[in-house]
């Protein structure tokens, strides 16, 4: 797909994280391309690239390991995204003394599956369970914290509301612009009902979802970006929203960061739902922030990362 790394070939070369050898040249090229080698990070760390299987998907996972971590951050990206877009959050976590483990969701990034599609959001829970198993196989230190952007936040919400005491997460739940409903949800559902019998997807529209002027051009040039919105994903979302809004409440207290210029999710509705579903969630609202908080401009990241860090 690029002159330096080929996703399918790289994925086929990988093993589990606990058994991962040093990165091959394609793995190093992939990390350099997305800045995941973190050349400016002042914290010494080791990195691993591996894979695991869940629901018939081959999922590529990755870990960043400082020398003496004091906990672990399990990181989940959003719809259309992949691990390669999260270097800012990964670098911050390493500076906080945390090991980081993450994976590309089914149909995203280096993982297998129809691009950006899913038949059932339950497959995302199986993905998260597989990622927990990878963290356990490496003996990553506790507490384990969960951080998710957008759909990654939706996966965390689902886990928290339905796993109860079975959850291995003994640290904080951190939600960046979490998805419950997308913006214009009524129109989205109507469009799905009209289009789904006739088409399997529509062309993706790239939007200005960050105030960092370099981010949108980077997305548009990113070889791992899906270019279509599959109707199957929208159908799975319809079912998932009903499941979440009918779920029993949780006693957990998540940390939520939400930009008020977010034009991707229906954030006012979502915050009301999360306030009802969780015990006194701690919310930081950012008047100038847009949706993709993990890639917002530096001055905005400097507003919310300390908010998260003071709870670690």
pLDDT tens figures, 168-208: 999 999 999 999 999 977 766 767 676 677 778 888 889 99
Q: Is the pLDDT of residue 147 over 60?
A: yes
Residue 303 lies in a domain: yes
What pLDDT, on the 0 to 100 scale, is given for residue 62? Answer: 98
Residue 41 lies in a domain: yes
Q: What is the pLDDT of residues 64-95, one digit of tens each?
A: 999 999 999 999 999 999 999 999 999 999 99
Mean pLDDT across the stretch 40-52? 96
Residue 191 lies in a domain: yes
Mean pLDDT across the stretch 230-240? 92
What pLDDT, on the 0 to 100 scale, is given for residue 188? Answer: 67
Residue 257 lies in a domain: yes
- Our separate counts of H helices and E strands in the chain read 10, 10
Residue 243 lies in a domain: yes
Lowest mean pLDDT among 6-20, 46-60, 129-143: 6-20
Residue 185 lies in a domain: yes
Question: Which residue range is the domain that position 237 belongs to?
Answer: 7-309
Mean pLDDT across the stretch 35-47? 96
Sheet holding 72-76, edge to edge: 45-54, 57-66, 99-103, 72-76, 144-149, 173-176, 255-259, 282-286
Asked whether the beta carbons of 146 and 169 are under 8 A apart, the reply is: yes
Asked whether the beta carbons of 303 and 309 are under 8 A apart, the reply is: no
Q: Is the pLDDT of residue 5 over 90?
A: no
d(CA 150, CA 179): 5
Please state, for a pLDDT cut of 70, what percent of the chain lies above it.
96
Asked whether the beta carbons of 50 and 14 are under 8 A apart, the reply is: yes
**Average pLDDT for the chain:** 94
Mean pLDDT across the stretch 105-125? 97
d(CA 6, CA 13): 11
What pLDDT, on the 0 to 100 scale, is given for residue 111? Answer: 97
Mean pLDDT across the stretch 118-135? 98
d(CA 115, CA 178): 21
Helix axes 298-309, 87-95, angle to 10 degrees: 40
What pLDDT, on the 0 to 100 scale, is given for residue 184? Answer: 76
* Total domain count, the chain: 1
Q: Is the pLDDT of residue 2 over 70?
A: no
What pLDDT, on the 0 to 100 scale, is given for residue 275? Answer: 98
Residue 1 lies in a domain: no
Q: Is the pLDDT of residue 1 over 80?
A: no
What pLDDT, on the 0 to 100 scale, is given for residue 102? Answer: 98
What pLDDT, on the 0 to 100 scale, is given for residue 198? Answer: 74
Q: Is the pLDDT of residue 38 over 80?
A: yes
CATH number at residue 233: 3.40.50.1820
Residue 236 lies in a domain: yes
Mean pLDDT across the stretch 226-242? 92
């Amino acid at each position: 797909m690029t002159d330096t790394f080929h996703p399918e070939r790289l994925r086929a070369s990988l093993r589990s994280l606990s058994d991962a050898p040093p990165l091959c040249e394609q793995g190093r090229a992939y990390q350099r391309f997305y800045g995941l080698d973190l050349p400016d990070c002042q914290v010494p760390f080791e990195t691993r690239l591996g894979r695991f299987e869940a629901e018939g998907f081959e999922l590529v996972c990755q870990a960043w390991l400082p020398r003496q971590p004091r906990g672990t951050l399990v990181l989940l990206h959003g719809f259309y995204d992949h691990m390669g877009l999260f270097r800012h959050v990964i670098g911050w976590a390493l500076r906080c003394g945390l090991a980081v483990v993450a994976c590309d969701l089914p149909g995203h990034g280096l993982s297998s599956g129809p691009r950006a599609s899913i038949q059932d959001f339950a497959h995302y829970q199986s993905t998260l369970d597989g990622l927990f198993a990878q963290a356990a196989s490496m003996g990553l230190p506790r507490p384990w914290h969960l951080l998710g952007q957008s759909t990654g936040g939706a996966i965390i919400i689902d886990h928290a509301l339905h796993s109860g005491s079975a959850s291995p997460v003994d640290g904080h739940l951190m939600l960046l612009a979490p998805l419950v409903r997308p913006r214009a949800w009524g129109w989205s559902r109507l469009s799905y009902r009209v289009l789904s019998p006739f088409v399997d997807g529509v062309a993706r529209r790239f939007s200005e979802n960050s105030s960092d002027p370099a981010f949108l051009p980077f997305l548009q040039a990113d070889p791992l970006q899906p270019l279509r919105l599959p109707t199957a994903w929208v159908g799975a979302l319809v079912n998932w929203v009903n499941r979440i809004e009918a779920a029993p409440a949780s006693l957990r207290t998540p940390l939520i960061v939400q930009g008020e210029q977010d034009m991707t999710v229906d954030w006012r509705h979502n915050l009301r739902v999360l306030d009802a579903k969780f015990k006194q969630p701690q919310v930081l609202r950012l008047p100038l922030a847009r949706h993709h908080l993990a890639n917002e401009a530096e001055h905005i990241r400097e507003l919310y990362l300390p908010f998260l860090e003071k709870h670690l």
